[in-house]
Amino acid sequence: MATAQRGSVDLQGIPSARGKRFALVVSEWNRHITDALAQGATQTLDQLGVKPEDVEKFAVPGSFELIHGCRVVASSLEYDAIIAIGSVIRGQTAHFDFVCHGVTHGIAELNAHGQTPVIFCVLTDDNEQQSLERCGGKLGNKGDEAAIAAVKMAQF
């Protein structure tokens, strides 16, 4: 579904999400990137019939904290799907690898054992430019794609 290969996201054939509720759990780290991803997700949900009051945004400090944030939100059973939004940019230490592995594993565990689907919208890029290209730049907005996945999983 990569938007880079097809231009903007095609919403034809995507089911309506009218009446569904969604939560966005968004990392504050690299906020300029995560806010753009959240905006893309929100706009796509709106285009798919979700009312603004049916999308709730929760902030967590960083991508690693997405796991706990999503678990708490999912435990409420108030949402049809949750989108975990984060951005991890490679630095000069192994910290990048530990965070990426941990958050990926944590979100996978939530999906394996929880009732509410949690969509993985965490950019794991080598540099800031790659992230900018994926949050509304020339490679599209991965938030759009995450919203589509959330709608499909909410219908599942």
The tokens describing 96, both together, are 């990048």
* Cβ pair 66, 103 in contact under 8 A: yes
Write out the E strands in the chain: 22-27, 55-60, 81-89, 118-125, 135-137, 140-141
Active-site residue identified among 95, 101, 105, 113: 95
Tell me the sheet residues that pair with 89. Answer: 125
> At 10, which amino acid appears?
D
Residues 6+ away with beta carbon under 8 Å from 16: 48, 49
**Residue of 43, 121, 34, 115 lying closest to 81 (CA atoms):** 115
User: Cα 64 from chain centroid?
Assistant: 14
Asked if 95 is an active-site residue, the reply is yes
Residues acting as catalytic residues: 95
